[in-house]
Structure 1
Amino acid sequence: MKKLIAITFCCLLMAVSSDIFACTSAIISGRVTPDGRPLLWKHRDTDAAQNLVRYFQGDKYAFSAIAQTNNPNPRSVWMGVNEAGFAIMNTMSYNIEPTENEENADNNGYIMKLALGNCADAEEFESLLNSLEKPWLISSNLGVIDAKGNAYYYEVNNNEYIRFDVNDPATAPLGYIVRSNFSFAGDTERGSGYVRYMHADEIVKAGVMHNAMTPEFIFNELSRSFENPLIGVDLKSGDFNRPKTTGWFVEQDLIARYTTTSSVVVQGVREGESVELTTMWTVVSYPPTTVAMPVWVCGGEEGIPYILSQNEEGRSTLGNMGYMMKEKAYAHEIEKSRKTRYFNWELLWNLQGDGYMQLVQQIEKELFREYNSAIESWRSEGTVNHREMKKLHDKWSTYIVEKYYEYFGMK
């Protein structure tokens, strides 16, 4: 009987774990993006309520990365880019050994932090991984891009990895690879995130075919997706808003979820460009309620907009505002014990065009326009203008806080 209870508990723990760490990701080769620059995307789900961006000085390289708010010097980070132009992210895999648990998740973050501080490119990352004592105690799909144009996924278990080259037409005929929470080399009877994978793959494929793969496209079409292809539901169709429904919906196999705490697109550089121009477009909270902002490692602490970094309360100002708005969307008055399942779709998106997500996208559209204009100028000059970068960060940080107060009553 005790054995049965233990087995049942473990199964429940695995189910909860795979639901909490339900990340979705993609790497798009520069050969299929409009500007020839590779893109690395991770949409992070975790039980850590809030994230922020921190700047670190590694053993060899400085880097900026997504970290949790509870530790100024964390053992782990969850995606990031370093001053050499090397970027890394992961999704947990639930169909390769070892079986998932919180320690394994933390080891993923530890390896990513180690890599950002020590690796200039994919080759050095592979050398680092091979040098670590085994078993590695991770089960992960690790994704990297570097300034040399390399773009790889590594399906990693305790003792080995399998590499998938995003630039190889034999491996990625359309120039991209998507991963969620299973590995292609793993047990097909296990794993999770198959519906999210199917949907993300459809969206990326469409973006590639229409030559539309940009950071802005990824945030709008992937990070803020409310579509479940398995049941043929797309909430943005308008069929699930008032007066046709109550405006409430149940969360199941969506990319945007209650547990989503950040979403990042690293835009790499073309061959010959300065690695300074590698840009980490960052959402530090729930994407439907949080504006994306760019981060540049070359700017050090000032390369991070101040509303993305740690404030006096130990949180990100923008991340906290996005989190509080998410909590309002999930504030069901009847099913309080299941608040992470039922959300107010009408509050996020509606036919009047004044939902949280719609207003966030309005702000973000102008932000992308102004920052992209500056980035194009810097590319022509061959370097980031640090003074202009700081000026833009301060301007937009202030503007976003003002707009969140005006639109949403956030302080």
Structure 2
Amino acid sequence: MKKPLLAAAALVTVLVWTPPAHASSSAIATGMSTVDGRPVAWKNRDHWSTPDGWKVVPFHTPADGSIFGSGDRYTSRFGYTGVTALGSSGVDPITGETIPWAGANDRGLGLVQVAGHTLTSAFAAGHGFPISQDLDKGMTGGYLNHLVLSRAERVDEVEQLLRDTADGGGFNASSGRNTSTIISVFDRWGNAAVFEIDGDSFTRDNITSEYAQDANGNYAASHTDDKDAADPADGAYSGYDWRTNFSKVQWTKPSGFPYLVDEQTTTVENGEVVNTGATPDGVHDWEDSTSAVMRHNRVGIRMDDPHKKDYRYFIQKEVRSNGIGGKWTIESLSKNVGELPAAEKPTGYHLNRFVSTFGTVITGSKAGDPYEGKLTTMWVALGEPTVSVFVPLFPYAGTTPAELSDMHEASNAKRHLVYDYTDDDSCGYSCGRNADHTIDTVALAGDPADGVGYYGEGGIQKYTFGIENWAFDQYDAFIADLREGTRTPEQLKADMTAWQRSIAQTVKTHYVNGTIPAP
């Protein structure tokens, strides 16, 4: 039974606020908006706060029946595959457990996450509202990702888990979560939703429409809080949505704190966010991160290309698209650095950024698939996506290939070809590995003087795109075989394990050598 919410109070004076040093982008599409009926979730993670945060690895966490506290009604019942980072950014500071920043479990639930800048306690306090997070004892956003993936099978169970932890849920004697996060999730019944979460509250935004631009070019469609409304039936969810780092749901907490403030048109002028007029444009007007505002629109433009999506579109795919014309018909979310061919260009505003540390594309099961969600697949690019290569993994396999444990080092070697830096470790947004914000597009995609220079035409991307196209063919054939449904669970696990390791070995070898597998 869903709990009623108290009436909202009035808005108060807006004060100055500085966003925290992290950012990401994500998108999600339901099976009704994809070519083959499978939902897809995508994320690029941006991170520069810890020196070794770029050292990213996939990992598998098995179900172990553990509980986090008295409010844990589900317990750890599902194994999942996630992506994390070596060092402190990949470890929960309270429990010491490895935490995922994206993942999928062996029952078909997929999750991608971005930080919610406008949901932090610092942001609320800066605007005159009480702090909602338990900053000392509360569970973090990364640990919450772990709980969702290890405990939830349905989108509705994610909502229940959030209700159960709003007061701490018995975790670490806390009074609430220490979360300011936005997660997009799908399940194997075709349901998908975006949850915006602070310490003691959250919103639910069911994916039931495709958010297109209005006549003014803004994404101003209203997002309402769906957690206290009747949910669509299984299979009735349809459409897609995207998030960067600010809330989009029009909902106000009982304290009066509004999750979304959208009363003006938000533009970027000379690198600064400017809010003017009284026309909502779908961008949180309290958000003052230029990169977040600009990336929000870049995600939207690509999601709104008028064709059905599939997992390859989020990685790289030739499509008939209104977004780009002429012969240049390769679309991408993960690898996008704007219009090409071009001279060297800064990537701070683009979907792939100089601070992007990994990309992931999760494909779910579609209605009618056998094996109860076990065909869900997680494609991972272990490094800055535009110079990296995506590799498919099956959470149900229960393991990740050893070949991928140092794939971030191979990606870093390719990254050195397009950026000028000597220190591999990060020491902030503009030093160490992030000293150079400008990508060498000739090394990336080829020289326009040679008649190339668009995505995948030359440079590093000539062979990375070729490797991925080979992997796409291998994967599509394997999935078609698995959909026959003739394997026992034991056979399915064994075949998935052997297949993904073989693919990882081949992909890594050709990636390091700069070659393309034979068809």
TM-score by length of 1: 0.81
Question: Is the 1:286–1:326 Cα contact (8 Å) retained in structure 2?
Answer: yes
Query: In the alignment, what sits opposite 1:161?
Result: 202
Query: Quick one: structure 1 residues 168 and 336, their matched pair in 2 at CA, closer, same or farther if it must change by over 3 Å?
Result: closer
Query: In the alignment, what sits opposite 2:70?
Result: none
Query: In the alignment, what sits opposite 1:53?
Result: 58
> Structure 1 counterpart of 2:242, which letter?
V
Q: Deviations over 1:177-230 (max 9, x none)?
A: 111011113343322311111111111111xx222x111110121000011xxx
> Structure 2 counterpart of 1:61, which letter?
F
Pairwise CA distance, 1:137 = 2.3
Pairwise CA distance, 1:69 = 2.0
Query: Quick one: structure 1 residues 128 and 174, their matched pair in 2 at CA, closer, same or farther if it must change by over 3 Å?
Result: closer
> 1:23 aligns to what SS in structure 2?
strand
TM alignment of 1:65-144, pairs within 5 A = 65-70=82-87, 74-99=97-122, 107-132=140-165, 133=168, 134-144=175-185
List runs of 5+ in structure 2 lacking aligned partners.
1-15, 64-75, 124-132, 169-174, 211-221, 225-236, 249-258, 262-283, 317-331, 423-429
Question: Is the 1:80–1:89 Cα contact (8 Å) retained in structure 2?
Answer: yes
> Structure 1 counterpart of 2:465, which letter?
Q
Cα distance in 2 for residues equivalent to 1:297 and 1:46 = 25
Pairwise CA distance, 1:171 = 5.8
Question: Is the 2:394–2:500 Cα contact (8 Å) retained in structure 1?
Answer: no
Cα distance in 2 for residues equivalent to 1:156 and 1:31 = 26
CA RMSD of aligned residues (A): 2.8
1:371 pairs with 2:470:
no
> 2:208 aligns to what SS in structure 1?
coil
Question: Is the 2:463–2:511 Cα contact (8 Å) retained in structure 1?
Answer: no
Query: In the alignment, what sits opposite 2:33?
Result: 32
Cα distance in 2 for residues equivalent to 1:149 and 1:401 = 33
Cα distance in 2 for residues equivalent to 1:388 and 1:135 = 43
Pairwise CA distance, 1:343 = 2.3
1:145 pairs with 2:164:
no
TM alignment of 1:208-219, pairs within 5 A = 209-211=306-308, 213-219=309-315
Query: In the alignment, what sits opposite 1:331?
Result: 420
Query: In the alignment, what sits opposite 1:63?
Result: 80
> Structure 2 counterpart of 1:282, which letter?
V
> 2:195 aligns to what SS in structure 1?
strand
Structure with higher helix content = 1
Pairwise CA distance, 1:149 = 1.7
Cα distance in 2 for residues equivalent to 1:194 and 1:380 = 45
1:321 pairs with 2:427:
no
1:183 pairs with 2:281:
no
Of residues 502, 506, 509 in structure 2, which corresponds to 1:395?
A: 502
Pairwise CA distance, 1:354 = 3.0
Pairwise CA distance, 1:290 = 1.5
Query: In the alignment, what sits opposite 1:205?
Result: 304
Pairwise CA distance, 1:299 = 1.0
Cα distance in 1 for residues equivalent to 2:139 and 2:84 = 12
Query: Quick one: structure 1 residues 376 and 324, their matched pair in 2 at CA, closer, same or farther if it must change by over 3 Å?
Result: same
Cα distance in 2 for residues equivalent to 1:74 and 1:299 = 21
TM alignment of 1:252-271, pairs within 5 A = 252-271=348-367
Pairwise CA distance, 1:176 = 0.6
Query: Quick one: structure 1 residues 264 and 163, their matched pair in 2 at CA, closer, same or farther if it must change by over 3 Å?
Result: same
Question: Is the 1:332–1:343 Cα contact (8 Å) retained in structure 2?
Answer: no
Identity score, percent: 20
Cα distance in 1 for residues equivalent to 2:512 and 2:206 = 45
Question: Is the 1:168–1:175 Cα contact (8 Å) retained in structure 2?
Answer: yes
The range that moved more, 177-186 or 69-78, is 69-78
Pairwise CA distance, 1:359 = 1.8
> Structure 2 counterpart of 1:327, which letter?
H
Pairwise CA distance, 1:66 = 0.8
Cα distance in 1 for residues equivalent to 2:27 and 2:483 = 25
Query: Quick one: structure 1 residues 117 and 407, their matched pair in 2 at CA, closer, same or farther if it must change by over 3 Å?
Result: same
Runs of 4+ off more than 6 Å = 103-106, 335-338
> 1:60 aligns to what SS in structure 2?
coil
1:196 pairs with 2:292:
no
Cα distance in 1 for residues equivalent to 2:38 and 2:431 = 45
Provide the aligned length of Structure 1 versus Structure 2. 365
Query: In the alignment, what sits opposite 1:286?
Result: 384
> 2:465 aligns to what SS in structure 1?
helix
Query: In the alignment, what sits opposite 2:401?
Result: 305
Pairwise CA distance, 1:387 = 4.4
Cα distance in 2 for residues equivalent to 1:171 and 1:125 = 19
Cα distance in 1 for residues equivalent to 2:187 and 2:377 = 12
Pairwise CA distance, 1:81 = 1.0
Cα distance in 2 for residues equivalent to 1:88 and 1:399 = 27
Query: In the alignment, what sits opposite 2:233?
Result: none
Q: Deviations over 1:322-381 (max 9, x none)?
A: 122213321169x98762412222111123433112321111111111111111111122
The range that moved more, 145-154 or 70-79, is 70-79
Cα distance in 2 for residues equivalent to 1:171 and 1:377 = 40
Cα distance in 2 for residues equivalent to 1:264 and 1:118 = 21
Query: Quick one: structure 1 residues 45 and 398, their matched pair in 2 at CA, closer, same or farther if it must change by over 3 Å?
Result: same
Question: Is the 1:150–1:167 Cα contact (8 Å) retained in structure 2?
Answer: no
TM alignment of 1:218-229, pairs within 5 A = 218-220=314-316, 221-227=332-338
Query: In the alignment, what sits opposite 1:349?
Result: 445
Query: Quick one: structure 1 residues 306 and 368, their matched pair in 2 at CA, closer, same or farther if it must change by over 3 Å?
Result: farther
Cα distance in 1 for residues equivalent to 2:441 and 2:78 = 43
Pairwise CA distance, 1:112 = 0.5
Q: Deviations over 1:35-80 (max 9, x none)?
A: 1111111111112112111110232111111111236863421111
Pairwise CA distance, 1:106 = 8.1
Determine which structure has more spread, i.e. the larger CA radius of gyration.
Answer: 2
Query: Quick one: structure 1 residues 343 and 381, their matched pair in 2 at CA, closer, same or farther if it must change by over 3 Å?
Result: same
Question: Is the 2:176–2:200 Cα contact (8 Å) retained in structure 1?
Answer: yes
Cα distance in 1 for residues equivalent to 2:411 and 2:479 = 26
Question: Is the 2:177–2:200 Cα contact (8 Å) retained in structure 1?
Answer: yes
Question: Is the 2:39–2:365 Cα contact (8 Å) retained in structure 1?
Answer: yes
> 2:402 aligns to what SS in structure 1?
coil
Cα distance in 1 for residues equivalent to 2:54 and 2:80 = 23
> 2:77 aligns to what SS in structure 1?
coil
